[in-house]
Amino acid sequence: MSSTDQRLERIVAPVKEGLSRMREVLVGQILESSNAVSDMTGHVQRFRGKQLRGALVLLSGDATGNSTDEHPSVAAIVEMIHLATLVHDDVLDGARTRRRVASVNQRWDNQTAVLLGDFLYARAFALSADLSSRLASRLLAETTRRLCVGEIEQSTKRFDFELTQATYESIAGAKTATLYSAACELGARYPGGREDLGKELAQFGYEIGLAFQIVDDCLDVVGDAEVVGKPVGNDVEDGKITLPVLWTYARADETRRARMRDIYTTVGLEGRRLEGLKSVCDLQGGVEYSMERATELVDRARARLGLLEAGPARDGLAELAAFVLERRW
């Protein structure tokens, strides 16, 4: 086990039992008699990853004294929605690997991946409809709406170098931070009431989720593909102008700007665009700026935890927030 895995295991230790219950629920929910489907659900579990969102539901529940028997199911629902979005996202991005294994679209094909994502999403909502409160269904339906809007907005802004940091952040916030936010809010509020506390934890989740996406975008330009578990440079290949790039572009002269734009669009550069981008500009300043912004968000998020009672779950939330900045995969 790597030192990062060990660190993560320590962070989520206060909710260890809830997490193993969450995993049982998740596996039970995606069982299917069709051999084809079970091959695929077995496959996607290999890229289930860090399960940070599920852990956030449970840690937020414990840290606010709000844990119920249904929290592990709520955590499983959040993780299933997350899995569904990854399967769909890899179709949209034409990604071939995720967490060192073939994406569903690569191993099977796009049609199958779209249907499998729908299957996972349907299972998530079937489980949420069985819960005693409608809060999870309501909040997660709204979250998925925002997430889809974020993806659509991102799609319309491809190759748009006039993108502002505010628009970049609103897209990253919608596509990634909203699910973090919902995870924390549900942990603190499920099955209902406690709106003020819920709002504060929702904001905590949003800030660390946005920081997570900014770090993800930095790793895509400076990460090590081996460590990240997927090829780097995908965002440049896909025409996504991320924060380190837009910061660099905004400070470049017109000659360099034109060369940066060309790298994104020139036919024949496929698969070599990041290398090309690095040959026409230095992205280091943009990465440093982006990491500072992510750090500011994490600091702001951690400060919110002051209103919770001290204890292992609150410490877990604070450390998970810090972990978002340290992760390299």
Q: Would you tell me which residues interact with ligand FPP (CB under 6 A)?
A: 84-85, 88-89, 92-93, 95, 117, 121, 144, 147-148, 151, 175-176, 216
Total residues binding Mg ion (CB under 5 A) = 2
Binding positions for Mg ion, 20-49, rule CB under 5 A: none
* Smallest gap from residue 220 Cβ to ligand FPP (A): 6
Query: What span, in angstroms and rounded, lies between the C-alpha atoms of 266 and 268?
Result: 6
* Smallest gap from residue 310 Cβ to ligand FPP (A): 32
Binding positions for Mg ion, 54-93, rule CB under 5 A: 89, 93
Read off the tokens for 194: 């406690």
Looking at the Cβ atoms of 225 and 280, the one nearer to Mg ion is 225
* Smallest gap from residue 115 Cβ to ligand FPP (A): 12
Nearest residue (beta carbon) to Mg ion = 93
151 is a site residue for Mg ion (CB under 5 A): no
* Smallest gap from residue 147 Cβ to ligand FPP (A): 5
Looking at the Cβ atoms of 93 and 153, the one nearer to Mg ion is 93
Instruction: Name which of ligand FPP, Mg ion, none residue 124 binds, using a CB cut-off of 5 to 8 Å depending on partner kind.
Output: none
Looking at the Cβ atoms of 21 and 88, the one nearer to ligand FPP is 88
* Smallest gap from residue 17 Cβ to ligand FPP (A): 28
Read off the tokens for 250: 């905004």
Binding positions for Mg ion, 87-116, rule CB under 5 A: 89, 93
* Smallest gap from residue 209 Cβ to ligand FPP (A): 9
Q: Which residues lie across from 101 on neighbouring strands?
A: 98
Looking at the Cβ atoms of 219 and 308, the one nearer to Mg ion is 219
Looking at the Cβ atoms of 88 and 189, the one nearer to ligand FPP is 88
Give me the residues that bind Mg ion (CB under 5 A), please: 89, 93
